[in-house]
Structure 1
Amino acid sequence: MAHLLGSQSCMDSLRKDLTDLQGAIVDVFSRAGPVRFPSWKFPDRVACDLDMVALLEHYDHVPDDPEFTQLSHAVLLELVIDR
């Protein structure tokens, strides 16, 4: 499975999953209000205040930088857990 770390298709799938999860969270928040708990990934911030658009823009596939791409892949996986 290590050969998939940094894979463009895996990262695209994770990004879509995160977008879907965030949409579901926003829908629940619109009905019940935000849940004010610390983020698992960023414990110094409240989970409902994370700027997912900025995070998804920053942690992206960069073909010329495999180390950053692998880091981004790991962060995207962690964001799925965080959501």
Structure 2
Amino acid sequence: MNGKLTRTYQTPDGTVRWDVLGEGDPVVLIHGTPFSSRIWREIAPALAQDHQVYVFDLLGFGQSEQRAGQDLGLAAHTRVFTGLLDHWGLE
């Protein structure tokens, strides 16, 4: 993982940047605030040896969309996360 998230997911709340590494059972890594997916830069490749690893930046953080007045509350992050799970075909 070189740090650049190469994929995008459009939500009503903004554009989320994400990426996937490896194959196998899925693992989703979620960073906390005020961090970004960069915290997984050493862990994600190691997990990807045996798993399909999804990493993304929450709205307002890292490479995802950041704009004034953007809703960054827990409900907004929950909407984005459930949308991503659907987009990825994960339950």
User: What TM-score do the two structures reach when normalised by structure 2?
Assistant: 0.27
Which of these two proteins has the greater Rg computed from alpha carbons?
A: 1
User: What TM-score do the two structures reach when normalised by structure 1?
Assistant: 0.29
> Greater helix share, 1 or 2?
1
